[in-house]
Chain A
Amino acid sequence: MQSTQINTANNPDNASDNNSIKKIVVVGGGIAGWLTAGRIAARHKSGTEEGVSVVLIESPGISAMGVGEGTWPTMRSTLIALGINETDFIRECNATFKQGAKFSKWVDGTDNDFYYHPLVLPQGFSKGDLAAYWLAKEQQSKVNSFSNEVCFQEAICEKGLAPKTIRTPEFDAIANYAYHLDSVKFADFLQKHCIKKLGVTYISDNVVSVNSAKDGDITSLLTKNNGDISGDLFVDCTGFSSLLLGKHYQIPFKSCKDILFIDTALAIQVAYDDEDSPIASHTLSTAQEAGWIWDIGLQHRRGVGYVYSSKHSSEEHAREILAQYVGDKFDNASVRKIPINSGHREKFWQNNCVAVGLSAGFLEPLEASALVLVELSAKMISEQLPVTRSSMDIIAKRFNETFLYRWDKIIDFLKLHYILSKRVDNSFWSENRDPNSIPQSLKDLMALWQHRSPTDNDFNSNNEIFPAASYQYVLYGMGFKSDYSHAPHLLNDWHYANQQFAQNKKLTVTAISNLPTNRELLKKVKQYGFTHL
C-alpha cells in the first residue's frame, strides 16, 4: 500500500488523480435529490471502497411540494436502474398506472370535445405513418378519432382498464404505461432505498454558507451542526430557492411567461367515494376559462388542481371554477395555492455545481415534464460523471446544451396545446394564439405540418424529448389538418394502411377483453405482487 502512495506522489503525470471526482454532495431531499443521489450511487457503487461516495444534505423541517405527480414511462427504467422492485414501489407510494392523458374541452369547450395523448405509439409507426391515410379517410366520411383509429390505448383508458395483468412480469407492459404517484411518499421511499440499499450518506442539517476556491469551484458547504461538508461535485436540488446555482452562482432565470401564461395553481386532494371507486388510468386535463384542471387518481385519493393565469382570472373566480369541477367534496379551506414561475435557468451546470429539479426550472404540469427532466438529468449526470475535474467542463457544456434544447422543446410542445385551441371564452385563449407569443421554432414546425404530418426527421437531435407521434396525437386530436392535396402520390400504400387500421381494431378487442380494471389490478398488486419474469 505504502509504495503505491509514494509512487503516485512522485509521478507528476498522475497529478490528475488528485482531483478525481470521488465525492458527490447533493443538497436537498425531495424527489430530485434522492433520484439523482440514487442514480449516481447505483452506477458508481457508493458504499464500496472503490466507489464514488454520495452524501445528501437535507434541511430538517422543509417540506416537499407534495402535489400528486404524473410521470412518463421513463420512470420504469429509472426504477429498474435504482434496483427498485415495482411491487414495493406501488404499495408504498400509492402509485397507480398512467396510460397517457385525456384532454377535454381544449378545442371548443363543448361536452363531447376531447382527445387522447396515449403512451402507445400509433400502430406500425416505425414502418409507415398512418396520419396521412387517416386524414384522407376523415375527409371522405366520418371516422373514429385519430388516437382511436391508430392506437388501442384510448379504448383501454375509456373503460378504466389497467395496462397489464397480474401475470405480466414487473415493469413489463401490455400497453405502455407510466405512473401517478404520491410525491411525498415517493421521496420517503427513495430516501429509505438510497440509504439502505445504495449506500448514500444522509445528513439532516442546514447549509449555512458556501466555501469556494479561487477558480470559483465550490470546495465545501458549511452546515449548522456538521461543519464543512466537502465534495468534488455539488448537485443543487434545493427546489425553487436554487441555493447553489441561483443564489450562489447568480445564474439568471429565463422566464417564459410570455409564451406560457399560467402562473398560479390551486391544488386540492379529493377522497374517493369508497375503496372500490374506479381509478382513471390516465391523467385528466380539462380546459377552463383561464387555464386547465388536472385530475390524477392515486390509490387512496385524487389530486386535483386548477392552473390558471392570474392576469386572466381572479383567485376568487378560479376557486369557484375548481369548486364546480370537484363538486360536493370541495372544501375551500384545504385548497393550497402554489405560485408557478414558468421558466428555467440560463444554464444548469456551472463550475462543479449542477442543478436538478425545480432549482433548474419549472413549467406548468401540462405534459408532466417536471419528473422526466429530473430523471433525464440524473441519468446523464450518473452516466457521464466526469472522472476528473479536468474533464468536467466538457461534460458541463454538453449538459447545458442538452438541457437547454430539451427545455425549449418542452416549451414548444406545451404551447402547441394552446395554439390549436379554438376557445374564445376568455382572452387567455386568444392571446395564446397571438403569433407574438409563439416561439419561432414552433412556427417553423407548424409551417411544415401544413402539408405533411410530423415525422421523426423533424426532430433530429439525440436529445429529443417528445417523439413525432406525440405531436401527431395533439395536432390531429385537436382537429389540425395537414393538406396532402398537392402530393396525392404520397398516399400510395392503402393496402398497408388498411392492414394497420384493421390490426389496431383487433388489438383493441383483445386488450379490452383481457385486461382487468385499474383498481382490480392495483388490489392484486397489493395482495400478491408482480413476479420478476
Chain B
Amino acid sequence: MANLVAVDSKSHKDIKINNTLVEAHGKNLHLVPAVLAEFTHIALQQPIVLTKNGETGQFVCAGMFGFEEGENLFWQNQQWQGLYLPLQIQRQPFFIGEVPIQPGKEIKRENDDFLVCIDTNSPAISTTEGESLFSAKGEETPYFKQAKNCLVQIIQGELDNQMLIEQLQEMVLIQPISLEITFINKKQTRLNGLYTIDKEKLAALNHEKIFKLHQLGLLLPIHIMIASLGQIYSLIDKKNKQLAHN
C-alpha cells in the first residue's frame, strides 16, 4: 500500500532514491499506462493498446508488457530489459497528490497547481544509496527537478490522452482486439479487455473528421498505436523464448 506524504526539504533532506529499485516498480505490470508524448518511445518495443480502468471503466492507453496479470516480459534477471522506461514507472516513488492542509504547517505547492508527494513505502527509498532530493543547503537537486518534470509530463499527458480517447469514442473508432495465441508449450491464451483503433473506420472518415484529428495532433499517435500492434509478435517471441529457457 502506498503511503503518500508531501515532499519537503526538512523531512526529506536525508533520503535517497535508488534508480535500479525504481525500475522494479514495474516488474509485475503487464499493462502500463502511457501518455501520447511517449508513444514513439514505447512503440519501439511494446504494443500500445486501449484498456479499461478497473476503477472507473473508462478507456486508458497502455503499453502492453505481458499477456496476463503479473507478467512483465521486460523484467528479467532482476533487471529492466527494455529500451525505454515508461513515465509511469520513471515517476516512482513520486506522485501528484492532495494532502489535507494542516494549520501552521506550510506545504509547498508547485506553481500552486499540484503538490509533490512521495510514497514512503516505496522500496526505492534509501538513506545510503542513490540520488538525493535536496542539497545540503536545502535546494532541490537536478535529480529531483527531473523527477518533478516527469510528473508535469504525466499531468499534461493525461489531458492529451483524454482528448484522444474522447475523439476516438466520438468518431466510433475503437474496436476490441480479438486474438487467440498458442505459445510453444501449447498453452492457449485469449486476449481479453484490450482494444485498438478500427483501421477500416479510420480510413472511412470524411475530410472534416480527418482534418480535425490532424488539427488536434492526434493522427500521429493514432497511427503509432496501429503500427505498434505488430509488437505483439515480438512479445509472443519473448514469451516463447522465456518458456523454452525455463
Contacts and interface: CB of A to CB of B under 8 A. Distances in A.
A524 B175 contact: no
Number of contact residues on A: which range applies? 10 to 19
A531 B175 contact: no
A527 B56 contact: yes
Given A167-B52, A167-B193, A533 B175 contact: yes
A167 B172 CA distance: 17
Interface in B68-124: none
Contact of A528 (B58, B169, B174, B195): B58
A533 B176 contact: yes
A189 B92 CA distance: 47
Interface residues of B, number: 15
Given A167-B52, A167-B193, A530 B57 contact: yes
Contacts of A166: 52, 55-57
A195 B174 CA distance: 30
Given A167-B52, A167-B57, A527-B56, A532 B193 contact: no
A533 B57 contact: no
B59 interface: yes
Nearest to B165: A531
A309 interface: no
A532 B175 CA distance: 10
A531 B176 contact: no
Interface string B161-172: 000000001001
B57 A165 contact: yes
Nearest to B174: A533
Contacts of B176: 533
A532 B58 CA distance: 10
A531 B169 contact: yes
A528 B213 CA distance: 24
Nearest to B51: A167
A466 B52 CA distance: 36
A530 B172 CA distance: 15
A165 to B, nearest CB: 7
A165 B193 CA distance: 13
B194 to A, nearest CB: 12
Contacts of A165: 57
A529 B59 CA distance: 11
A508 B61 CA distance: 32
Interface string A30-49: 00000000000000000000
A524 B57 contact: yes
A78 B193 CA distance: 27
Contacts of B52: 166-167, 531
Contacts of A531: 52, 57-59, 169
B57 A532 contact: no
Give the residue among B52, B59, B174, B193 with the most A Cβ atoms within 10 A. Answer: B52
A524 B56 contact: yes
Nearest to A525: B57
Contacts of A532: 169, 172
User: Which residue among A166, A524, A529 has the maximum number of chain B CB atoms within 10 Å of its CB?
Assistant: A166
Contacts of B195: 533
B149 to A, nearest CB: 30
A514 B195 CA distance: 21
Nearest to B56: A528
Contacts of B54: 167
Interface in A145-182: 165-168
A95 B52 CA distance: 24
Contacts of B175: 533
Contacts of B172: 532
Task: Determine which residue in A166, A167, A527, A530 has the highest number of CB atoms from chain B within 10 A of its CB, and name it.
Answer: A167
A531 B53 CA distance: 11
Nearest to B176: A533
B57 to A, nearest CB: 3
A521 to B, nearest CB: 9
Interface in A282-318: none
Contacts of A530: 57
User: Nearest 3 A-B pairs (CB), nearest first?
Assistant: A166-B57, A167-B52, A528-B56
18 contacts: A166-B52, A166-B55, A166-B56, A167-B52, A167-B54, A167-B57, A168-B57, A524-B55, A524-B56, A528-B56, A528-B57, A528-B58, A529-B57, A531-B58, A531-B59, A532-B169, A532-B172, A533-B195
Given A524-B55, A531-B57, A532-B172, 14 more contacts: A165-B57, A166-B52, A166-B57, A167-B52, A167-B54, A167-B193, A168-B57, A524-B57, A528-B56, A529-B58, A530-B57, A531-B58, A531-B169, A533-B175
